[in-house]
Chain A
Amino acid sequence: MEVDKKDENESESSEQVVNPWEVSAKDGGKIDYDKLIDKFGCQRLDESLIDRVQRLTSRQPHVFLRRGVFFAHRDFNEILDAYEKGDKFYLYTGRGPSSEALHLGHLIPFMFTKYLQEAFKVPLVIQLTDDEKCMWKNLSVEESQRLARENAKDIIACGFDVTKTFIFSDFDYVGGAFYKNMVKVSKCVTLNKAMGIFGFSGEDHIGKLSFPPVQAVPSFPSSFPHLFPGKDNLRCLIPCAIDQDPYFRMTRDVAPRLGYSKPALIESSFFPALQGENGKMSASDPNSAIYVTDTAKDIKNKINKYAFSGGQDSVEKHRELGANLEVDIPVKYLSFFLEDDSELEHIKKEYGEGRMLTGEVKKKLTEVLTEMVERHRRSRAAVTDEMVDAFMAVRPLPSMFE
């Protein structure tokens, strides 16, 4: 995440900061999601919407929905209304390829998007913002393109269907209809507005200023004439982490002026670092997260040594008081990745009331994560350069709604 001048001002007012380049809680505490929803103006994803998803898709809602990982939205109910009437939509998500090493937090939006693709049977476009990373992280063009391709392999390994998925990198794809939309969007956003939304200043180079339209236009089907010819009214649903909201607030503001539908959003909370909510998950600290390249041994070690425990200091105290589930990382991680609701409830109850010890919970987490990472690694090994080429080829997807 880029740290720009904005955070100097923010920390003075000790407010929490959430934008595409920085996420930090107030006074080193936890992110207040209610405040965030209020401030951004999006909606809470409530039970009734989740039930509706279950009815419409005839399958159990994804674990991230059930556990409130994806907790906020804009216009998701409208998407469901249209879907019920038989009007489909397409999915749009992306990744900024800043590093080769992906950790579990990075995979979350992709795991959820894969579920959405399968459950609703809709196509998906995935944007790799190699240009953004080239500009913000000062990578060379070649390096950012290389990272984009490497990240594409991990993304494909999440299990996307090649007959319904188009992956593109900005350096490869920007141009043509896509660029025309970029210009249309740019014309609708003044410099002042951009500086207000994104915190740009006179010191930032103009590349950064002109980037937001690149992330905005995949929300419009006319940006992909090879995929959605003649379907200008096709709606778009964007699963993303909530820190990306500013881009899409801008996009939703501009869309009606261009005669386009506003994209809908479904947003997730942040994945905590191993050291706890207050810790920062940092690419330079390998022990702050579980990486998809970690071995079973690494995972076991990291969880045992670094996962912040809400258990008490001594066994006796623990049996008496139980664990503090609010801050316990293993339980938090399990709530993300343990599929079985009743099993999770059981663990929370036993651990919270002191009958189960931290060691057991960590052991369970190690099992769950090891299986996940193993499965990912196996799939990743099957992704060849040719497969990446296939996903990234500008080709029609005739069975995209089947």
Chain B
Amino acid sequence: MASTMLSLASTTPSASLSTQEILKGKVRLGSGRVGTLLNKEKGNPFIKAKSFGRISMTAAVNVSRFEGVAMAPPDPILGVSEAFRADTDVKKLNLGVGAYRTEELQPYVLDVVKKAENLMLERGENKEYLAIEGLAAFNKATAELLFGADNPVIKQQRVATVQGLSGTGSLRLAAAFIERYFPGAQVLISSPTWGNHKNIFNDARVPWSEYRYYDPKTVGLDFEGMISDIKAAPEGSFVLLHGCAHNPTGIDPTPEQWEKISDVIQEKNHIPFFDVAYQGFASGSLDADASSVRLFAARGMELFIAQSYSKNLGLYAERIGAINVVCSSADAAARVKSQLKRIARPMYSNPPVHGARIVANVVGDPALFNEWKAEMEMMAGRIKNVRQKLFDSLSAKDKSGKDWSFILKQIGMFSFTGLNKTQSENMTYKWHVYLTKDGRISLAGLSLAKCEYLADAIIDSYHNVS
């Protein structure tokens, strides 16, 4: 307790000050520093004050208003990295969070990004507020990347594009929009899906249910289950689809399967909602990775697409993405865009400029754009190489005849190993390999050099632990 205790002369904690008493200046604040501060000069009233020392008012509340707040559990995905950091074993391997690593297992800032940032600095651009919908040059570039600049949806101005805070923020804008304009409509999400999807829809108060997706027996797609569940959902539901490189399984529908998925969605008047976090990063080709989205758009459907530049441009911490809504008319797109803005304004007013400018600069300059494509091919290529090496190591070391080819069939940063919770724990506690409890490994965190070690760990966990 501080030694300076000021008690209010005419009050006790239980008696509230009457307005009259205050106005008549009956409250005497005693001697000490506070008295010297009460000068009547206007302008800089606090400048003449000495810093406030510890003043304990007996009228202060003694118990926290937040005493009843419970400690929240740690985020399951981010918690893996924290545990990894605490591990002192030299063999430790972090296959938890989905951020790209080089062969040396270092974070990677793309060369084109550094070039773009230097250009931006040289130009000396200002830091004025962006419009609520974000940087116009970015919005144009991002829609064109997604659909192709010649796509009718773009030429007919039928896409409402609003810059968002990477994938999460863009999904959240869409979720809030759905809650407001499609009350009662539910979102169908794959089982499994990225852990944060449920949180986003929960916080936005949008009901959700799951459609079958992962088949543990085949370590592949439960296509019949998926179609059946989408068909069974109430008409006009939103169907959340991963554009490519499904997270966490790495299992994508084939082009034929996408056609059938599109058929059933149209049949039921559902609204497709794509999460595109890996365009260009999955196969190495921007166009190939957008083919699912373009297929749906070509059918004249209205759809939502959330984009992220975290992985494909390595802009994780800059939080740059977009929500796109393809509408049946330019007028509808304009109206939808205006309402998306109304959701963004009371959330964060307008989005951050830095990441948006980097994307706009890279995409807008032909030389930088080509360089970007090369770097993206390099990143996707490294992951494919690592998949191959892991597959080769597993096949060579595992004498059981188990088919490990799913590693090669899966695509993108993540692989669903098929390991269950206990087996995954064995990976961590015995082998110091960190992964999420659902058996998901991030290949971006694997180097060629460590493939053999990982193969040993997987084989041991799969065969010797149940």
Is B a genuine binding partner of A? Answer: no
